[in-house]
Amino acid sequence: MSEPESGERRRFELDDRGFNEVPKPYRRYYRNWDGRGDVLGPNEALCPVCKIVVRSSRELRPGDRLYCMACMTWLTVVEGESGRLEARVVY
């Protein structure tokens, strides 16, 4: 995959990871957090409420909004103190 220009976002193919806590059409947008050794991709954010990884088909950037269907929480993506992207609860 080539490096995107500043305005373009990378696209990702999402596969079904067997996450069965949401309706079948939405399962590819979620996966279980595998613990301390798990690494998030540029299209993933960890829900701070239920510790489920919310996935997007495009690269996430600060200001993006996500919905965690598992705990019905709206999230916004922010840049954390460490420089990596984190999700914060909006509602």
What are the domain boundaries of the chain? 24-89
* Confidence at residue 36, expressed as pLDDT on a 0 to 100 scale: 86
CATH class of 24-89: mainly beta
* Confidence at residue 1, expressed as pLDDT on a 0 to 100 scale: 43
Polymer length of the chain: 91
Q: How close are the terminal C-alpha atoms of the chain, in Å?
A: 35
Mean pLDDT, contiguous 10-residue spans, the chain (91 residues) = 66 90 93 90 94 94 95 94 88 87
Query: Starting at the edge strand that comes first in sequence, how are the strands of the sheet with 65-68 ordered?
Result: 65-68, 73-79, 85-89
The two structure tokens encoding residue 65: 């909004």
